[in-house]
Amino acid sequence: MTDFRVGQGFDVHALVPGRKLVLGGIEIPFERGLLVTPTRTCCCTPSPMRCWELQRWATSARCFRTLRSSIAVPTAALLREVARRVRDAGWRVGNIDATVIAERPKIAPHVEAMREAIAECTGVERLAISVKGKTMEKLGALGRGEGIAAQAVVLLVRS
């Protein structure tokens, strides 16, 4: 058995008026927010913490609340629980590499605060966490500012 696992996740959600924009564990000033809170860092956590197990736990967790027909997750609570389960299974996070894809707001001014928030939730040192923003160069729904996408890659190393 190998001493490491790599997982990758991708998610996209619509931006809607009347919601706060929370990304990477911080609130970003913006006129719209996500319909559903993104959880890519959590759901890309690879075996032995398979995504379907996390989703089954998450959909039954009390930390969820219903928003219209969608479920919105307090990301920090989910990320803390995932990190605990990873440690309990005998693994540690080697690094996290996350990309937020959005025309607006600009992500770069918020990167350090996001890294700090993710580090606090996971217990991973800040230097092992990368967050960056990219645009779609005004192409497609994301390029028109209709939503935000996120993708992340996580490396787990056996403790």
For the stretch 57-69, pLDDT in tens is: 555 544 444 333 3
DSSP string over the chain: --SEEEEEEEEEEEEEETS-EEETTEEE--SEEESS---HHHHT--TTS-HHHHHHHHHH-TT-EEETTEEE--HHHHHHHHHHHHHHTTEEEEEEEEEEE-SSS-SGGGHHHHHHHHHHHH---GGGEEEEEE--TT-HHHHTTSEEEEEEEEEEEE-
How far apart, in whole angstroms, are the C-alpha atoms of residue 49 and residue 33? 29
- Diameter of the chain measured on Cα atoms: 48
How far apart, in whole angstroms, are the C-alpha atoms of residue 63 and residue 158? 29
Q: How do the domains of the chain map onto residue ranges?
A: 4-158
Q: Which residues contact 48 (CB under 8 A, 6 or more apart)?
A: 5, 89, 91
pLDDT at 106: 96
pTM for this predicted structure: 0.82
pLDDT at 57: 56
Classify 4-158 by CATH class: alpha beta
Token pair, residue 143, equals 């390029």
pLDDT at 66: 36
Positions in the chain short of pLDDT 70: 1, 37-75
